[in-house]
């Protein structure tokens, strides 16, 4: 059993913002397999449970806002008795150039408050799928403002392909295992 969590913020004002890349990838996986998430109040997430390639998969989008994502992740993990090594988290990453995808097991939060919160609640031995959002604007505005901005026109043109590519990397990892990689 795997728990695959996409980090993001709920609410229409946060749709299509850089911090919601994790949500976008979960939505893309759901679209590919014709799945629908349902709000689970006790677990603080929009989620669904399905079978992919013979394995039970839980897809989740915490409704706690990014910085408190660990609250939802630990609740889901405890409810379904999921070990930390079977938790996969998809997030944006300021240190990676826009569209770069990096997969890694364990490590630090890299300054990402959502990952920091997940680490504080479940430990650090989970898999991270980090998707780069860095661009030239990062130097001109605060980090907080940057991650909550909508993608610019150039990014919008590439965003659909990046989300699809990221979803495929997650799906391929279910089939072949996680490899430390940067694409």
- H-type helices in the chain, by residue range? 21-32, 69-80, 113-122, 143-147, 153-176
Handedness of CA 16, 22, 28, 31 (dihedral sign): negative
Which residue in the list 2, 19, 112, 130 is annotated as catalytic? 19
Task: List 101's β-bridge partners, or say none.
Answer: 131
112 given a catalytic annotation? no
* Residue carrying the six token digits 């989300």: 163
DSSP 8-state class, residue 151: P
User: Which residues does 167 contact at the CB level (< 8 Å), separation at least 6?
Assistant: 25, 28, 29, 32
Catalytic residues: 19
């Amino acid at each position: 059993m795997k728990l695959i969590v996409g980090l993001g913020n709920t609410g229409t004002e946060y749709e299509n913002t850089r911090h919601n890349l994790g949500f976008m990838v979960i939505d893309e996986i759901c679209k590919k397999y014709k799945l629908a998430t349902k709000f689970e109040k006790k677990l603080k997430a929009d989620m669904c449970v399905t079978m992919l390639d013979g394995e039970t998969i839980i897809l989740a989008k915490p409704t706690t806002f990014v910085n408190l994502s660990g609250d939802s992740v630990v609740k889901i993990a405890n409810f379904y008795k999921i070990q930390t090594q079977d938790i996969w988290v998809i997030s944006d990453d300021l240190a990676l150039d826009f569209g770069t995808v990096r997969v890694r097991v364990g490590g630090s939060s890299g300054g990402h408050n959502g990952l920091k919160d997940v680490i504080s609640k479940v430990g650090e031995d989970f898999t991270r799928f980090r998707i780069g959002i860095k661009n030239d604007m990062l130097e001109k505005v605060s980090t907080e403002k940057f991650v909550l901005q909508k993608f610019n026109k150039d990014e919008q043109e590439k965003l659909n392909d990046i989300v699809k590519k990221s979803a495929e990397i997650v799906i391929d990892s279910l089939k072949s295992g996680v490899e430390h990689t940067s694409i």
